[in-house]
Structure 1
C-alpha cells in the first residue's frame, strides 16, 4: 500500500468514528479542552525489595496525599481523630467497615456523613480531569451513581442537592452503604495518582516481591524500569545458571526462602539435603545451605568470567587465589584473612569445576525455575511493562547509571561485538535482555544477564559487587565496592545535562530520576544532585537499609505545579493503622517548581492529542470541500 492509499484508508476509518461535521467539531472542542487541563499526577518509587505491606500502604495513602487533601477540606469541620478515622477508612475500607459494624457505629447518620465527606474528597480530586476520564476510573457497578453524585450542583430550589441526598438515603436503606464506600475509596485513590513509575528493584531482600507483582498486574497505569535485582530474576527465569544460583543465595542469605518455595513452588530440598551431607560441620542448616550455594555460585561466575574477557572481571576470580594453610585470599595486591577455608567441594587445582553432586543440585534448581508457571507469568509481565530506561514527560528514568569513564564521557562498550555508548548502549543491553528470554536463550545472552546484575559497567548496577569478600573475608576494607565514574560525575550539573541531551531532553525542567544507591540521609546525604538535575529516590524502602538511610523510602511526586519529595518513616503495620488510625508518617519537600503550570499540552500525551486535532481538522476540511470516497 503506498502512502496515498494508506492515508485515504486512515481517513475512512476516522470518518467511521466521526461521521458528521458536528461529530468532528464536538471532538475537537473536547480535545482542545483536555489540552488545557493540568497534567495528571505521577508518583515515582524505587527499590521496593519485596516490602509488600509498606508498598501497599503507600499506594493506599497515596504517599500521604490523601491525608493532605482530607486536612485541606475538613480541618475546620472535623477533629484530627475524625480525619484520621476517615483516612483509615479510605486506605482499608473493607477491614475498617467490619470493625465499624462490630463497634455498632454504622448508623444511617454515620453512613450519610461518611459518604458525603468521601464524595467531597472525590470531587476535589476529580477537578483536574475530564468527566469522561473520571467516569472511566469509577468501579463499573457504581459508575452511573458516582457520576451523578460527583457532578450535582446547587440551584435556587436545591433540587440537585435533594436528588443527591435521596440517592444516598436509598443506598443506605437498601444496605448498599458498605459497597458504595468501597467503590468511593477505590475512586479516590485512583484519582489521587494518575500514573505510577517503579524505578527498579522489586525483587530480593523483603518477604513478598511476588505479591507486589500481582498487585501491579491489576494497577490502572504504571511502568517499570528494571533494576539489577529484577534482571537477576529475569535471567534466572530464562535459564541462566549463574542467575539461578545468585537468586537462591540471596534468598537463603536473607532468610527469605518462602518467596521461592511458597511464592513460586521452587523446592530447595535438593540443595538442603546436599548441604547437610557435604557441609555437615555447620550446625545451622541455613548456614550450611548458604555455604553450599555460595561455592556453586563462585564456580559458575568464574566460568563466565573466563568465557568473557571483555567483561574485564578477572579480579573476581578468587577461588584460585586462596592460600589454604595461611587461611587467606590474595586480592588487590595483598593477602586478606578469611573466616573459613573449609570448602570440601573445591579442588585447588581445578577450583571452578562443579562436582557431579553440585551439577545435579544446580540442574534441579534450574529446572524448578524454568518450570514455575507463576514465575514465568510474572517475568513476562516485567518484560511487557518494563524497560532499561524510559523518557516520560521530559524526565529520564533508569535504575542505575549511564557508564562513564574517568574523564566524564560516555564509555564505549561492546555488545554483540558492536561498539556503543550512551543511549545506544542502553538500547543494546535491552535487546540482549529480551533475546535472553524470548530468543533462543544462547549462552552468551544468558551470561550477559548475569553481567547486568553485577557488572561495574552495567547500566543497572555500575559497581563491583563483592559477594565473595562479604561472605568470607574478615577485613571490611575488602568489602568496599568501587562504583562507575557516573556516580561521581552525576554530582555535576553539566554531566547531568549531557546525559539528558543524549536522550533528546533539552528543557530546563528536565530531570534524571534514579534508584539503586540508598541515600544516607542520616549522614547528611541529599537525594537531589547535579544542581537539581538528578534525583535519587532510593531512601531505604527495604527494612535492611533503614538503619543506613535513617528513613524508610521516598516517593517523588510530579504534579502540574512541579516536583516534591515525600520522605517516609518506617511503617508500623496494618494493624496499627486499623486499630489506632495510625499512618506512615511522611515529610514533604518541594524539589523544583515548574516555571508555569504544566498542562496536558506540555505532557507526552499532549503531542498525540494535538496530532489527533490536526487529523480531525483535515477530516472536517474534506467533509466541507470534497468527497471522501473520491479523494486521491
Structure 2
C-alpha cells in the first residue's frame, strides 16, 4: 500500500498517531486486531418505539432482550433441560436478584444449585461471545468480577484433566465463599449485553403510561443506545426548558391520561395550586376533571398567542377561541358550520375582553408556578439532557433511516417545500433545520426556539407530528365528525416502494439495502394492518406498548431485530409482569416474522463502525510506512 505521506514531512494526524503507537510492534498489534475485527458478524440491533411510560412492559422486554435470550437457551441446552427448567433458568437471567431471594425463602439455593447455574451461565456466555472480540467481551463484564469471569471463559475443561480440575476449583471456590449470587448477577449482565449490541428507541417515552421517568433511568444505564425524538418527547423537552405552552399541554395530557404520578412523584411537580383554582371555578366537577378543564383553557390561550406570533407554523386553523359564541353555546369551526358545544360555561373567558387569548391574572400566576417546578426539577432536567445527548430528529445507522413521524409530502407524493423565516426547506434540509431549532431551545432557551418545540409537538408540517390536532374539538364539541385529524400524505405513500426509495435517497442512503423505520402510528393488527410496508422497505414499529392501545392494536408492541442474517420482527402478544415471571416463570409470548433474509452474513466491515475501522486502518498503514521510510522514528530507534 502506497502512502500519501511518502514525501515531505508527516502531517499532524501521523504525529498524533505516533504518540499513541510509538513502536512498529504496537502498530502491528493494532492492525492485526482491526483487520480481524472487520470479518466478525455485525452486532445485534434492537428497535423499539412508542413506549409511552409503560415501564413494566419495557422492563421485562429489556431484561429478556425481546425473547432472544430464551432462543439462545433453547439452542444451547436443547433437550438437556426440560421446558420447566429452561423457563426457570431464563427467569434467573432476567431477574437474578429477585429470583435468588425467592429461592432462598424456599431453601432451594443450595451449593449444588449455585454450581449448576453458574456452569450453565458460563456455557451460555461462551456461545454468545463468539461473535465479539475478546477485548469487547471483557468490557461487558462488571469490572469487579472481570478477572475471575475472564478466567472462567478461557478455561477448557474438556481439553485435559488439569483444565477440568482448575475449572471445577474456580466454581467451587466461588460458591464456598458465598459469592455465588454476586457472580450469577454479573453473568446475567454479561449475557444481556451480548444479546443486544445496540438499542434504538424510535420516539415517545412520555404520556399515557405513568413511569417514563423509570424507563429513562433504566436506559441511562444502557451502554449503547440512540434515540429519535417523538412528538410527545419534544413536548416534554419544551416544557422542561420553560415553554409555557408546552407546560400547559404536558399537564393537560397527564390529567387526561390520569397519570399525574409522573409529575408529582417522578419529577416533584406540584399540581396543588392548579387543583385549588380548578375546584373554585368548577365546583361541580370531580377534582381531576376540573383541573383538566382549567389547564385546557390556559393551553388554548397560550397556544393562540404562540400561533399568532409564528405565522410560519401554518397553524391558523387552530385559532378557535375567538370563534366561540357563548350565548348560543356554539362554535364556528373550520368547515364554516356552527357546532353545538358540550358546555357553555367558560368562567375564565370574558367575551368583552380586548384579547380572548390573554390569561387572567390568576391563570398567569398558576402557569408561572408550574414553570418554576418544571425548570427546577433536577430529575426532569437530567432526563431532558440525556434525550438531547443521545437523541435527534433522525438517525442514519447501518444504511437504515430512523425517525419517529413523517417526511412532509405533497398530495402527489413529492417532497413538500416548507417556507420558514424567509427560506425554503424540503426533505432532509427540513429535518436538519428542525433539529437546529430544537437544540437552540436547549442551548439558549429563546422564545422563538421554545415556540418551535410546541410546533414540533402538534404542527401539521412537523416531521415528528404530521397531523393537524383537533384538541379544541375533542375537548369542547360532542360532534365526533369534527374530531377527524387530517394527516400528511406521507402516511399514505409510505406503502409505495418508489416513495421509500425517494426518501432514502434524499437522506443519502441506498434504497437497495436501506429501510425506513418509523413509529408514531399504531398498527391495527386486529384489523388486518401490517407493520411491514412497501415490500419491506418501510417498517412501522408502533404496535401499542401502551395498555390504552391494546384494544386498538390487538397486540402489546413490537421489537424489530437486525442481526447479521437480516431483519426479524417480533410481535409481542402478551408481556408477563415481574411478579408473574418470578412466580410462574412466565415469559413474553411473541410471534416472529422474518422481514428480510440475506444470503450473505453481514460483517462488521459492512457497517458504519466498519467504515470508521477502515479509516483507522488506513491511517495506521500510513504510520507504518512513515516508520519504514524514515519519516518518523519509532520509539525503539530514538
| Residues 321, 330 of structure 1: 8 Å contact kept | yes
| Alignment equivalent of 2:412, drawn from 383, 395, 407 | 407
State which drifts further: 311-320 or 430-439.
Answer: 311-320
Q: Is the 8 A contact 1:122 1:188 kept in 2?
A: yes
My pick for the range that moved more, 288-297 or 298-307, is 298-307
Residue 291 of structure 2 corresponds to which residue in structure 1? Answer: 289
Provide the rounded CA distance (Å) in 2 between the counterparts of 1:595 and 1:304: 54
Decide which moves more: 462-471 or 348-357.
Answer: 348-357
Tell me whether 1:501 sits opposite 2:505 in the alignment: yes
Deviations 1:415-459 (A, max 9, x none): 3432111101000001011111212x2222111111100001100
1:320-377 per-residue CA deviation (whole Å, 9 max, x = no partner) reads 2223243332222322232212111112244212111111111111121111122111
Q: Distance in 2 between matches of 1:5 and 1:211?
A: 57
For residues 222-246 of structure 1, the C-alpha deviation after alignment (integer angstroms, 9 at most, x for no partner) is 0011000000011111111110000
1:528 correspondence with 2:532? yes
User: Cα distance, 1:22 vs. partner?
Assistant: 2.2
Q: Cα–Cα, structure 1 residues 175 and 457, in superposed 2: closer, same or farther, change >3 Å?
A: same
| Cα separation, 1, equivalents of 2:159 and 2:560 | 44
Structure 2 runs not aligned, ≥5 long: none
Cα contact 2:522–2:543 (8 A) shared by 1: yes
- 2:347 is aligned with 1:344: yes
What's the CA shift for 1:12?
A: 2.5
Q: Report what 2:428 is aligned to.
A: 423
Question: Counterpart of 1:398?
Answer: 403
How far residue 6 of structure 1 moved from its aligned partner, in angstroms, is 10
Question: 273-282 vs 517-526, which deviates more?
Answer: 273-282
Partner of 2:307: 305
1:212 aligns with 2:252: no
- Aligned length in residues: 626
State the distance in 2 between where 1:156 and 1:285 align.
Answer: 72
Residue by residue, what CA displacement relative to the aligned partner does 1:302-329 show, whole Å, maximum 9, x if unpaired?
A: 1112222222222212222223243332
Please name the residue that 2:92 is paired with: 89
Q: Give the TM-score, by structure 2 length.
A: 0.96
Give the secondary structure class of the aligned counterpart of 2:574. coil
| 1:232 matched to 2:235 | yes
Q: How does 1:103-502 map to 2 (within 5 A)?
A: 103-154=106-157, 157-282=160-285, 284-331=286-333, 332-349=335-352, 350-439=355-444, 441-502=445-506
Match of 2:608 in 1: 604
Structure 1, unpaired ranges of 5+: none
Choose from 539, 545, 558 the match for 2:543.
539
CA-CA distance at 1:45 after TM superposition: 0.5
Deviations 1:168-193 (A, max 9, x none): 01100111111010000110001000
- Does the 8 Å contact 1:415/1:428 carry over to 2? no
Tell me by how many angstroms 1:252 deviates. 0.8
CA apart distance, 1:480: 1.2
Structure 2 distance, partners of 1:468, 1:6, is: 69
1:578 to 577, 582, 590: 582
- Find the aligned partners of 1:620 and 1:90 in 2 and give their Cα distance: 46
Determine the C-alpha separation between the residues in 1 that align with 2:398 and 2:341.
Answer: 50
| Structure-2 separation of matches of 1:435 and 1:625 | 49
Decide whether the 8 Å contact of 2:569 with 2:593 is kept in 1.
yes
Taking a change above 3 Å as real, the CA distance of residues 629 and 24 of structure 1, as seen in their structure-2 partners, is closer
Measure the CA separation in 1 of the matches of 2:359 and 2:158: 81
My pick for the range that moved more, 408-417 or 179-188, is 408-417
Does structure 1 conserve the Cα–Cα contact (< 8 Å) formed by 2:561 and 2:568?
A: yes
Instruction: Give the drift of 1:154.
Output: 4.5
- CA distance in 1 between partners of 2:519 and 2:8 (Å): 47
Distance, in Å, in 2 between the alignment partners of 1:40 and 1:513 is 18
Aligned partners of 2:10 and 2:632 also within 8 Å:
no
Residue in 2 that maps onto 1:517 = 521
What secondary structure, in the 3-state scheme, does the structure 2 residue paired with 1:64 have? helix
**1:587-626 Cα distance to aligned partner (Å, 9 max, x none):** 1111111242110000001011111111111111111121
Greater Cα shift, 320-329 or 341-350: 320-329
**Partner of 2:46: helix, strand, or coil?**
strand
**Helix, strand or coil at the partner of 2:156:** coil
Is the 2:92–2:100 contact (alpha carbons within 8 Å) kept by the matching residues of 1? yes
Query: Residues 509 and 594 of structure 1 are in contact (CA less than 8 Å); yes or no, is this contact kept in structure 2?
Result: no
- Helix, strand or coil for the counterpart of 1:569? strand
Pairwise CA distance, 1:156 = 5.0
Query: Is 1:562 the counterpart of 2:570 in the alignment?
Result: no
Contact 2:574–2:590 (CA<8 Å) still a contact in 1? no
